[in-house]
């Protein structure tokens, strides 16, 4: 579903390799966790996948489509939730959702059904008629999540999705992610919360200084570690050794 081939990004200042020749192949129906310390290259990688940052080298394939050659086709299949929800403060929540639904050409009946469902799940129904500027950080985050789910994307990409969410919404999001994968859709997300990755992900990649330093299921990662231990210990061990 998502294939990264020799993906690299060098920032023009100081020749820093933010992402260094990454290769990943993520299958349909997988929940894939992308871990790494601050500044490791997680957000840069995600931005290259969703079309916000042009790779200096390498390719991104979404459902077999070259995302940088046929961006519109690729974007129809994905949705992206950034780490900070910068959205139009002067629109009402419902207006923003309708706007996004129009972009993905969702008919009225379907959008209504999906919006109602997710507004209910994330407990945002009472506020969706208000201006987004009046929302808290968490409410904005939830609105972006709902807008990203309206077109039922094949590939759901989230950058640090748990930040700012209350425990209940965080739980609901994990449920949604699990359910999507059961339906054969794919979830790719970055996180700092190791417990989430440990419990939720089918496979995990750990990135440090732009390079993938570990990749596999939780079980495989454990086998590679010196002792069979928690993800936290594996993470610390790997990122410190680098």
Partner 1 sequence: MNRILSLIKTDLNTTFGFSALEYKFKSKKDRWQIIIFGIAILSLIPSYLLIVNGLSSLYEAYRNIGQKPMFLLNGFLYSQLIVFIFGILYVMSKYYFSNDLSVLVPLPLNPRDIIGSKFISLMVNEYLTSLPIILPFIIIYGTRGKEGILYWLYSLILILFVPVIPLTLASIIVMLFMKYTNIKGEKDLLRIIGYFLLLIAILAFQFKIQSITQNAMIEGEDFFLKMATDSNLLVRKLGLGFPPSMWGALSLSSYSSIIGLLNLILFVGVAIIIFIAMIYLSERLFFDGLIGNLEVSISRGSSKIKATDYNKKIPSFLALGLKEIRLLIRTPVYLLNSIGGVVIVPIIFIISTSMDGGQSLEGLNMLIKGNPHLISIAGVGIITLLGIMNCVGCTTFSREGKSLWIQRTIPIKAKDQIFGRVLSSLLVQFIGVGAVLCTVAYLGYLTIENVFWITILGVLGSIAMAELGMIIDIYRPLLDWDNPQKAMKQNLNVLIAMGIGALYLLGVGFLVYKLLDKVDILFIYGIMGLVFIITSFVLYMPLKKLIERQFQILE
Q: Among 92-100, 174-182, 183-191, 201-209, which window interacts with partner 1 (CB under 8 A)?
A: 92-100
**Measured from the CB of residue 217, what is the shortest distance to partner 1 in angstroms?**
30
Question: Please, what's the b/e burial string for 133-154 (b: 16 or more CB within 10 A of its CB; e: otherwise)?
Answer: eebeebbbbbbbbbbbbbbebb
The residues in 64-83 that bind partner 1, with binding defined as CB under 8 A, are 68, 71-73, 75-76, 78-80, 82
The separation between CA 170 and the C-alpha centre of its own chain, rounded to angstroms, equals: 14
**What does the DSSP 8-state code read for residue 92?**
B
Question: Coil, strand or helix: which one is 58?
Answer: strand
Q: Could you tell me the CA-to-CA distances from 139 to 7, 135, 171 in Å, in that order?
A: 34, 6, 15
Site string for partner 1, 136-155 (x = CB under 8 A): x--x----------------
Q: Among 101-109, 169-177, 186-194, 231-239, which window interacts with partner 1 (CB under 8 A)?
A: 101-109
Query: Is residue 57 a contact partner of residue 134, using CB atoms and an 8 Å limit?
Result: no
Q: Among 28-36, 52-60, 161-169, 201-209, which window interacts with partner 1 (CB under 8 A)?
A: 52-60
- Give me the residues that bind partner 1 (CB under 8 A), please: 12-13, 50-54, 68, 71-73, 75-76, 78-80, 82, 86-88, 90-92, 94-95, 98-108, 111-112, 115, 125-131, 133-136, 139
């Amino acid at each position: 579903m998502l294939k990264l081939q020799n993906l690299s990004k060098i920032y023009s200042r100081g020749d820093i390799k933010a992402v260094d020749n990454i290769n990943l192949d993520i299958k349909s129906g997988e929940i894939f966790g992308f871990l790494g310390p601050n500044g490791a290259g997680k957000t840069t990688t995600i931005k290259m996948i969703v079309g916000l940052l042009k790779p200096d080298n390498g390719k991104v394939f979404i459902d077999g489509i070259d995302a940088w050659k046929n961006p519109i086709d690729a974007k129809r299949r994905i949705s992206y939730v950034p780490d900070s929800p910068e959205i139009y403060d002067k629109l009402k929540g419902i207006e923003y959702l309708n706007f996004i639904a129009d972009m993905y050409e969702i008919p009225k009946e379907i959008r209504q059904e999906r919006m109602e469902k997710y507004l209910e799940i994330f407990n945002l129904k009472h506020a969706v008629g208000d201006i987004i500027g009046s929302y808290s950080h968490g409410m904005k985050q939830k609105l972006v999540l709902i807008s990203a789910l309206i077109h039922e994307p094949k590939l759901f990409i989230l950058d640090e999705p748990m930040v700012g969410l209350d425990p209940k919404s965080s739980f609901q999001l994990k449920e949604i992610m699990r359910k999507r994968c059961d339906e054969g859709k794919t979830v790719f997300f970055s996180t700092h919360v190791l417990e989430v990755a440990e419990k939720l992900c089918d496979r995990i990649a750990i990135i440090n200084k732009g390079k993938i330093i570990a990749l596999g299921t939780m079980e495989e990662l454990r086998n590679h570690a010196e002792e069979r231990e928690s993800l936290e210990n594996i993470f610390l061990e790997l990122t410190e050794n680098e």
